């Protein structure tokens, strides 16, 4: 049963992350930031988000090595 709770929490957390980054992007665009500036801020936010993920170092590395905002968003969409 604990596994089920962990899985549910993980899915909820991913959903909230999607929403969080979506809202951040929307607000940054309103402020006139370009994709490169948004990516830098997203990377800063994501630096510690994955500490408790299974294979957290690998996950974090993918995000931090993103070369474009689209690549970062693709990694976010692929989180399981």
The reported pLDDT for the residue numbered 15 is: 81
Domain carrying residue 30? 2-78
Give the mean pLDDT of 43-70.
90
Task: Please give the model's pTM, rounded to 2 decimal places.
Answer: 0.82
Residue-wise pLDDT tens digits, 9-50: 877 888 888 899 999 999 999 999 999 999 999 999 998 888
Residue-wise pLDDT tens digits, 66-75: 999 999 999 9
Q: How many domains does the chain have?
A: 1
Higher pLDDT: 22 or 7? It is 22
Distance CA 5, CA 45 (A): 26
């Amino acid at each position: 049963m604990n596994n089920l709770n962990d899985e549910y929490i993980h899915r909820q957390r991913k959903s909230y992350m999607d929403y969080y980054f979506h809202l951040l992007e929307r607000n940054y665009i309103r402020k006139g930031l370009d994709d490169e500036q948004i990516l830098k801020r997203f990377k800063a936010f994501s630096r510690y988000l994955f500490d408790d993920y299974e294979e957290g170092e690998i996950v974090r590395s993918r995000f931090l090595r993103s070369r474009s905002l689209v690549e970062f968003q693709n990694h976010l969409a692929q989180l399981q």
